Amino acid sequence: MHKPMVQNNPHTTNSAVPRFVSVIIRTEEIILTIFLTSLILLACYQIGLRWFTSGGLFWIDPLLRYLVLWSGLLGAVLATARDNHISLDAVSYLLPSRVKQWLRLLTLCFCVLVSIFLFRATLLFFKSEIEFGGSGLFGLSTWVWNLIFPIAFFLILFHFVIEVIGTMQNLISLTRPDKQ
């Protein structure tokens, strides 16, 4: 069974915070697994219906679009949690370890700032969906189907903040003199 990356993170200790983060990551993994499994099964079912009955269920295609959206955003959340997202690393291999840590902290702080703006934008989008959105799939309001946007960007922000805290703890531990 796959273990969340937080357990391999050097910043973690035996406190409640890393356990809480591990539970969140594990929950994200389970939800993503459910979505991807549903996506594959429904797509195969729809293909089978089209092959053998020359038709299909009208609600499966829109549901598959929403499952792709939700799965993609949850995948981005997990990539952020695992520090496995797209990054440009042109010069860090040339830098000393201490400078790399400071550069990482600066980069993570920038990511937190961008994530705050993106989260705010999703809240504005979500507010307008509640106000002006219509009826969507299965008679649910469209805001229900778009709820993943603020959830995903909040979780991305959360994971970046956790990484900033861990990186700061690491930098502080590097600056303390050894007590022997």
**Structure pTM?**
0.83
- Top pLDDT among 5 and 98 is at 98
Distances 13 to 22, 67, 101, 180 between C-alpha atoms, Å: 12, 35, 19, 21
Looking at residue 92, its pLDDT comes to 74
- Top pLDDT among 122 and 8 is at 122
Q: Do residues 143 and 130 touch, judged by C-beta distance below 8 A?
A: yes
pLDDT beyond 90 at 4: no
Which three-class secondary structure state does DSSP give residue 9? coil
Looking at residue 178, its pLDDT comes to 57
Q: Do residues 160 and 80 touch, judged by C-beta distance below 8 A?
A: yes
Q: Determine how many CB atoms are found less than 10 A away from the CB of residue 179.
A: 4
- Top pLDDT among 6 and 127 is at 127
Q: Give 96's pLDDT tier (boundaries 50, 70, 90).
A: confident
Average pLDDT over all residues of the chain: 86
The predicted model gives 91-98 an average pLDDT of 79
Q: Do residues 150 and 122 touch, judged by C-beta distance below 8 A?
A: yes
Q: For 59-78, what is each residue's pLDDT tens digit?
A: 999 999 999 999 999 999 99
Cα 158 from Cα 81, distance rounded (Å): 9
Looking at residue 15, its pLDDT comes to 66
Q: For 141-150, what is each residue's pLDDT tens digit?
A: 888 999 999 9
Q: For 12-28, what is each residue's pLDDT tens digit?
A: 445 677 889 999 999 99
